[in-house]
Each structure stands twice: as structure tokens, then as C-alpha cells.
Structure 1
Amino acid sequence: MFTTKSLKSLGAAAGLVASLFAATAAAGEVEDRIAERLTEAVPGLTVSSVRESEAKGLYEVQSNNGETIYTTEDGQYLLTGDLLKITDTGIANVTEQARAGQRLAAMEDYGSEGLITYPASGEEKAVINVFTDIDCPYCRKLHNEMPQLNDYGITVNYYAFPRSGPGTPSFKKYISVWCADDQQAAMDAAKSGKTVESASCENPVLEQYRLGGRVGVTGTPAIVLEDGNMVRGYVPAENLAKGLGLL
């Protein structure tokens, strides 16, 4: 039997559920409106997600090319650049923290097929994913330290990112390396400036190049760590190992 008290409790619970549903629906309408307005205002922009940011009054918009935009609730005012937050321990980059999570999800979604891998010597202590261009001088400098990286227990996965883009000599060179019978030997030769025999086959070079664009690669080498954070540019092997807590 329902008492007056229990009926009131049920009514309050139903009211709470209705309020939460209404708030969720309203939030969804705001996000849809922002996405629609931005898409109309910026030709070629593809919005992948819109969500309320931790900064009150701002919404975080992610595009398919990895760019982050902040907007007011009405979608009229836009902010570009990184959102910083003052914390007890210093300045935190809120935008980069969000990028790291999205980057990690994209990398995991891609999987490990089609990578050129240099495994750690002995026990594997860390894995780094490197978007690389065979002709990039600093990529070659990092590659020269591959034995040292592997000795530190670091496995290196190479992803293709020929900066000059599809159809260029660098792009074709990476395809030749990937299609070689011995990918590591071909990569070592190409990174040292030697000529690699031209080869063609079904390959993931274009797909990896596009993945790089989605996760925010703008130059090489770009090192994606296991937590999704990105180290942009060359870092000496010893410094990289220290940063990973291996030394």
C-alpha cells in the first residue's frame, strides 16, 4: 500500500528525472545549434564533437582535423588557441589534456596493423609512436639513436607522415620502404640517405598520413606517448628516456 509519504517521494523522484531529462535535452539542443552555426559560418569545417568546457560559459568544439575551437553558448563568439587553467601546482593546459585523450582514442582505433616496429631490447619498458618522414633531417637524427632507444627498453613504432604529401618523391620513398621484403633494413638505408629500390604494393602509407593529420601532427618527428600526449620535434634518446621515467 502506498502512503502519502511514499507517494510524495515517488513524485519528487519523477520530478527529478524529468528535470534531468529536460536539462540533458536542452544541453543537446545547444550543442546541435553550435555545430550547425559553425558549419554554416566556416566552409569546409566538419565538427566532430561539441561539449560544455570546464570554463563556465564556453563550449569546446572539436573538428575532424584535430583543431579545437571555443565558443559561447549562442555560437556567436569564437576563441582559438589553448585554454589554460591556474592550479595549485602551476598552469595546466586544459586544451592539450583534452587533445591527448582524443589522440589516444584515435590511435587505439587505428590499431597496430601496418607499422614498422623496432622492438625494445630485452624487457619492454615503454612504447613510443613516431610519425616520421624519411627525408626529414631531425627524423634521421632520431633514427640514428634507435639502438640507444631500444637499449633503454623503448619500443618504437613508425607511422608514415611524408610531409610533402601524397604523390611526392618522399611519399613514394616511404611506400618503397614499406613494401620492401626487409622493412627495417630498407628504413635504415633510406634514413641514411641511401637509395632504396622502388617498390609498390597495397600499403597503409596514405591512411597513416591521414591519421597524423587527425591527431594534430604538423611536423616531424612527432612522438605520441602511451597516454596520448605528443612530443613535437627531435628529443635526444637519453632525454626521452628520462622523460619517460626510465633513467
Structure 2
Amino acid sequence: MMLPFSNKTYSAMDFNELPFQHAIEFKQGNGSRQLAVFSDPECPYCQRLELELAKLDDVTIHVFPFPLTQLHPKAEQISRKIWCSPDRASAWRDYLTQQLAPDNPGNCDAPVEANLQLGQALGVNGTPTLILSSGKLITGAASAEDIDALLD
């Protein structure tokens, strides 16, 4: 069962002004629709959401690693290891769906702190948080069907 989600409008920044260089990108199908996700690799709701995101078609998903270390002490180190992997997208999905941690020390220049500051500025206070290209912010895990409808 999915955690109920809520909708609210986010207006701190235009979607296209998000620092996508700090995100892990997934292009599925033609990638024509856009979605940003603030996600903690250790968050069980984020792990469920990742399974739903993988079902979406014709979408580009920008995942901003957003470790909530007060809840998940290992999340920052896992986020760094994923970021330092040669294939970040595969490393992210492998960890969230199968708990397969990357085999590296995680000591590259990862944007973890920048993502935490960005999330705070946008009012992200939990994970997962989705931001649609329209600027609508959705908190909590949602089904692929619900996300698909919101993207259309």
C-alpha cells in the first residue's frame, strides 16, 4: 500500500531553473515529460516509489539525492557512493530496488549538501517529494498510475 500523498504548489523557483547537474537523470521512453524527485536512498517510501517510477514511460526523471541522516544515518554515505559510481542511474535504482550498494569509498565531489540546501529552500521536509514541471509539489509515495495522470 502506498503512503497517501498531498499536493501543494511550489513557487520558490521555476522548474527549469532547478540545478539538474545535481540530479541523477533517468530518461524513459522519449523523455518528453519532466519530473524532479527529492529522495533518500534509505527511505522505505522512496524505495517503493522507485519501483513505481521505473514503470513510467516518456518521462525524464531528475532524482536529487536528499539524505535525511537524522532518520537514516547511512543515507548520506550511500548517496555519496551512488553519486561517485560510473553509472549513477543504475547505481541508484540498484540500491533502492535491490539494496545493492556501490563498491567505492564515496569520496568524489557529490552535491549532497547543495541538494539539502535546495530542498530546504523549496520547503522539502520529507521524502519522497516529487516536483512536476508545472511546479506542483507532491509529498509521499504515489503509484505509477497516479504520477502518470499528474504528468499528463
User: Fold-level match, TM-score > 0.5?
Assistant: yes
State how far apart, in whole Å, the 1-side matches of 2:89 and 2:129 are.
19
1:148 maps to what in 2? 55
1:133 is the counterpart of 2:43: no
Are the aligned partners of 2:78 and 2:101 in contact in 1 as well (CA < 8 Å)? no
1:4 maps to what in 2? none
Alpha-carbon displacement from aligned partner over 1:171-226 (angstroms, at most 9, x marks no partner): 01101100111112211221122232232111211101110111011111100111
SS in 2 for 1:185: helix
Alpha-carbon displacement from aligned partner over 1:72-92 (angstroms, at most 9, x marks no partner): xxxxxxxxxxxxxxxxxxxxx
Please give the TM-score of this superposition, normalised by the length of structure 1. 0.53
Alignment of 1:70-109 (within 5 A): 97=9, 100-102=10-12, 104-105=13-14, 108-109=16-17
Runs of 4+ that moved beyond 3 A: 107-110
1:172 maps to what in 2? 77
Amino acid paired to 2:123: G
Amino acid paired to 1:120: Q
2:31 maps to what in 1? 124
Unmatched tracts of structure 2, length 5 or more: 1-7
Per-residue deviation, 1:160: 1.5
Are the aligned partners of 1:180 and 1:186 in contact in 2 as well (CA < 8 Å)? yes
1:196 is the counterpart of 2:102: yes
1:235 is the counterpart of 2:130: no
Greater relative CO, 1 or 2 (CA 8 Å, sep 6+):
2
Structure 1 residues 124 and 194: CA distance shift in structure 2, 3 A: closer
Unmatched tracts of structure 1, length 5 or more: 1-95
1:223 is the counterpart of 2:133: no
Amino acid paired to 1:117: E
Amino acid paired to 1:196: P
Q: How many residues align?
A: 142
Are the aligned partners of 1:101 and 1:227 in contact in 2 as well (CA < 8 Å)? no
Per-residue deviation, 1:108: 4.3
Alignment match of 2:21 (pick from 107, 113, 124): 113
Per-residue deviation, 1:236: 0.3
C-alpha root-mean-square deviation of aligned residues, in Å?
2.0
Please give the TM-score of this superposition, normalised by the length of structure 2. 0.83
Counting helix residues as a fraction of each chain, which structure ranks higher? 1
Higher CA-based Rg: 1
